[in-house]
A and B are shown apart, each in its own frame.
Chain A
Amino acid sequence: MSRIESPIALAPPAIGAASDARPRADLARLPWTAFVIIVVAVLVAVFAPLIAPYSPTEQSLPDKLLPPAWEEGGSTNHLLGTDLLGRDVLSRLVYGARVSLTVALSALLAGGGVGLMLGILSGYFGGRVDGLIMRVVDATLTFPTILIALLLTVSLGQGLRTIVIAVTFIIWARFARIVRGEVLVVKARDFVALARVHGCSDLRIMAVHVVPNVMNTFMVLLTLHVGFVIIVEATLSFLGAGIAPPTPSWGQMVADGRGHIASAWWLSVVPGAAIMLVVLAFNLFGDWLRDWLDPRLRQM
């Protein structure tokens, strides 16, 4: 987590900023590979029915365990092979992107939003408010992730909604704690005191001075947690507490293939590679975003 330090501390001073230093060089530094992976993943998720060659749930036992096209015995009918029930791995991967990204996005927005809000309140007001919120954060963080998810699955039933709630519950506390720390740093700086001297209300100070200064950290946290959330979803699905089969999710595909890793490696490796690529891409993107959001680094 070393990347989530105060961006202020990381930023070297801009020496003799260029005469016409408006955002300019920023896009050139965008990690294109990562960006392309993210865009492709999102497009695939959105247009899954158009892209997938087969239905992700249609079984065809005679075609079971076909290897990918480039392996011996593979065919171009099933580019990435088929699974135990003869379902097309490529189609499942495409539909799986939908599930994984939906879960990631909604859980991040919900969990991140709650965390941001509570973190700001906690850091800004301090005292009893801070004590209360931070104890709840502590309590939340001590809960084993898997246990919460299993409990929720039992009480709410399997499904997308349950998993989003579970992940939200797990990540809000991490956001709240880190955002609070940032707010404490920002709050101690004179511009907040001066804003008060100029007659700003607490709400206005939070909105105008505190939020923009923690946004940076928040955005980086968001992108770094995309990977975490995808992995949590995969873990839960792997354990059977996630998305109910036959709906494909990447984690579940890895789980399904684990017994056949010696004979049919593609069942686990293909979705595993997809998880890895997307998580990596989001992390690289997060790194770039952090620099880009910092006005000091943007113009260098």
Chain B
Amino acid sequence: MIEPGAVLLDVRDLHTYLHTRWGVVKAVDGVSFSVREGETLGLVGESGSGKTMTALSVLRLVPQPAGRIVKGQILLEGDDLVTKSEYQMRRVRGRRISMILQDPQTSLNPVFTAGDQLVEALRVQHADSRANLWQRAEDALRRVRVAAPEQRMRDYPHQMSGGMKQRVVGAIALAGEPRVLIADEPTTALDATIQLQYLTLLKDIQSRTRLAMLFITHDFGIVARMCDRVAVMYAGRIVESGPVRALFRTPRHPYTEALMASVPRMDANVARLPSIEGQPPALHRLPAGCRFAARCRYAEDRCRREYPPTFVVGPAHEAACWRAEPSRSGP
């Protein structure tokens, strides 16, 4: 583990709502977290829990005109991104904060070679002569450990493997030397061996550049491998966050507990893999109390009435559950 430094990204009480024909969808509803220099924060949760919307909010790329950040602060090195104009945001994106998306197949423009796309990304950051840009693009490929970059530069995306494409995507994302990188399930579309290579690569780059990473995934295996801390999202809110080790050993929120129980294990012999019954609540008709109450096996009356505040349950470990209230014993 890398010794974490100063806080680079600090999100406070973020609310991102989508205005749809069915009403206001509270995709992100009061999310706070921070990521330090050289640290990786995992953002875990099932589909539709607001992970990706959180990431898009940080980049101020919420789908327009439906989506809007209605409340909260996004402090990037102390600089609030929420109040920035679109023009100012353009100078932030790519240079100070960047992102890798899930699917390398569509992350590259099919009509240009890898080199052209890297050069294009570099040019947006810094105007320079084409020869210099080309040279820098080659260096960027070398940094993501592409073999024979001078040849790969001339390849079109369809000539590259998925892993290779995702490396190029990574090189493009890192071309502007950002301090913060958001990785939205970057290895989901890759096969297992390439996944491992790619994760190792990201780790190595992080240890060299002290990049702060926000790693979105639903794979606890990847969390264990990649992250220093982890935040679990459910229905637009973070229900539990803490150091990976503590959270894995003693999950304090029933949702985290249930999620971990539903991960297949090699060492436990179970007849049937436990799953979480029911569906998450619709984000435009949220219940008054705890959002997980309807699916929670510990739920009591109070859970259905009041949303639990966030309790500190250990060093840097927090959970939003009544059962974690200090006066009571843990689950």
Residue of B nearest to A197 (CB): B99
Within 8 A of B (CB), among A17-37: 17, 21-22
Please tell me if the beta carbons of B109 and A191 are within 8 angstroms of each other in the complex.
yes
Docked CA distance A21–B160 (Å):
12
Residues of B within 8 A of A295 (CB): 110-111, 156, 158
Please tell me if the beta carbons of A198 and B93 are within 8 angstroms of each other in the complex.
yes
Residues of A within 8 A of B103 (CB): 190
Residue of B nearest to A213 (CB): B111
Interchain CB contact (< 8 A) of A13 among B102, B109, B158: B158
Residues of B within 8 A of A263 (CB): none
Interchain CB contact (< 8 A) of A196 among B61, B108, B117, B173: B61
Interchain CB contact (< 8 A) of A199 among B90, B109, B111, B154: B90
Contact mask for chain A residues 198-217; partner B; CB cutoff 8 A; 1 contact, 0 none? 11110010001100110110
Please tell me if the beta carbons of A199 and B93 are within 8 angstroms of each other in the complex.
yes
Residues of B within 8 A of A216 (CB): 111
Asked if B327 lies at the interface with its beta carbon under 8 angstroms from chain A, I say no
Please tell me if the beta carbons of A198 and B92 are within 8 angstroms of each other in the complex.
no
Residue of B nearest to A125 (CB): B64
Residue of A nearest to B102 (CB): A190
Stretch at the interface among B25-33, B118-126, B223-231, B258-266: B118-126
Please tell me if the beta carbons of A194 and B90 are within 8 angstroms of each other in the complex.
no
Interchain CB contact (< 8 A) of A190 among B93, B101, B156, B176: B101
Docked CA distance A176–B59 (Å):
32
Contact mask for chain B residues 149-189; partner A; CB cutoff 8 A; 1 contact, 0 none? 00000111011000000000100110110000000000000
Docked CA distance A14–B92 (Å):
37
Residue of B nearest to A19 (CB): B151
Q: With A199-B91, A199-B124 given, is the CB distance from A194 to B172 under 8 Å?
A: yes
Asked if B65 lies at the interface with its beta carbon under 8 angstroms from chain A, I say yes
Residue of B nearest to A11 (CB): B158
Docked CA distance A14–B94 (Å):
31
Residue of A nearest to B154 (CB): A22
Asked if A39 lies at the interface with its beta carbon under 8 angstroms from chain B, I say no
Within 8 A of B (CB), among A208-228: 208-209, 212-213, 215-216
Please tell me if the beta carbons of B111 and A191 are within 8 angstroms of each other in the complex.
no
Q: With A197-B98, A198-B121, A295-B156 given, is the CB distance from A191 to B92 under 8 Å?
A: no
Cβ of B108 to closest chain A Cβ, rounded Å = 6
Please tell me if the beta carbons of A198 and B172 are within 8 angstroms of each other in the complex.
yes
Residues of A within 8 A of B155 (CB): 17
Residue of A nearest to B91 (CB): A199
Residues of B within 8 A of A196 (CB): 61, 93
Contact mask for chain B residues 95-137; partner A; CB cutoff 8 A; 1 contact, 0 none? 1001101110011111110000100110011000000000000
Docked CA distance A194–B172 (Å):
9
- Chain A residues with a Cβ under 8 A of chain B: 8, 11, 13-14, 17, 21-22, 127, 189-191, 193-194, 196-201, 204, 208-209, 212-213, 215-216, 295-296
Residue of A nearest to B100 (CB): A194
Cβ of B235 to closest chain A Cβ, rounded Å = 25
Residues of A within 8 A of B172 (CB): 194, 198
Interchain CB contact (< 8 A) of A193 among B91, B92, B101, B121: B101
Residue of B nearest to A7 (CB): B110
- Chain B residues with a Cβ under 8 A of chain A: 59, 61, 65, 89-95, 98-99, 101-103, 106-112, 117, 120-121, 124-125, 154-156, 158-159, 169, 172-173, 175-176
Cβ of B74 to closest chain A Cβ, rounded Å = 15
Residues of B within 8 A of A198 (CB): 93-94, 98, 121, 124-125, 172-173, 175-176
Please tell me if the beta carbons of A201 and B65 are within 8 angstroms of each other in the complex.
no
Q: With A8-B110, A212-B112, A213-B109 given, is the CB distance from A194 to B169 under 8 Å?
A: yes
Q: With A295-B158, A296-B156 given, is the CB distance from A209 to B109 under 8 Å?
A: yes
Contact sample, A vs B, 29 pairs, CB 8 Å cutoff: A13-B158, A14-B158, A14-B159, A17-B159, A21-B159, A189-B106, A190-B106, A190-B107, A191-B117, A194-B101, A194-B107, A194-B173, A196-B61, A197-B61, A197-B98, A198-B93, A198-B94, A198-B124, A198-B173, A198-B176, A199-B90, A199-B91, A199-B93, A199-B95, A199-B125, A200-B90, A200-B124, A212-B109, A296-B156
Residues of B within 8 A of A215 (CB): 111
Interchain CB contact (< 8 A) of A194 among B99, B111, B158, B176: B99
Residue of B nearest to A22 (CB): B154
Residues of A within 8 A of B106 (CB): 189-191
Please tell me if the beta carbons of B159 and A199 are within 8 angstroms of each other in the complex.
no
Among A13, A21, A191, A216, find the residue whose CB has the most chain B CB atoms closer than 10 A: A191
Please tell me if the beta carbons of B59 and A197 are within 8 angstroms of each other in the complex.
yes
Docked CA distance A190–B106 (Å):
5
Cβ of B92 to closest chain A Cβ, rounded Å = 7
Cβ of B183 to closest chain A Cβ, rounded Å = 12
Identify the 10 closest CB pairs spanning chains A and B, nearest first.
A198-B94, A199-B94, A199-B93, A189-B106, A17-B159, A190-B107, A190-B106, A199-B90, A197-B99, A191-B109
Residues of A within 8 A of B124 (CB): 198-200, 204
Residues of A within 8 A of B61 (CB): 193, 196-197
Docked CA distance A18–B90 (Å):
39
Residues of B within 8 A of A193 (CB): 61, 101
Among A196, A212, A213, A215, find the residue whose CB has the most chain B CB atoms closer than 10 A: A196
Docked CA distance A11–B106 (Å):
15
Docked CA distance A92–B120 (Å):
52
Docked CA distance A204–B93 (Å):
15
Cβ of B182 to closest chain A Cβ, rounded Å = 8
Among A21, A204, A208, find the residue whose CB has the most chain B CB atoms closer than 10 A: A208
Residue of A nearest to B158 (CB): A296
Docked CA distance A189–B110 (Å):
10
Cβ of B169 to closest chain A Cβ, rounded Å = 7
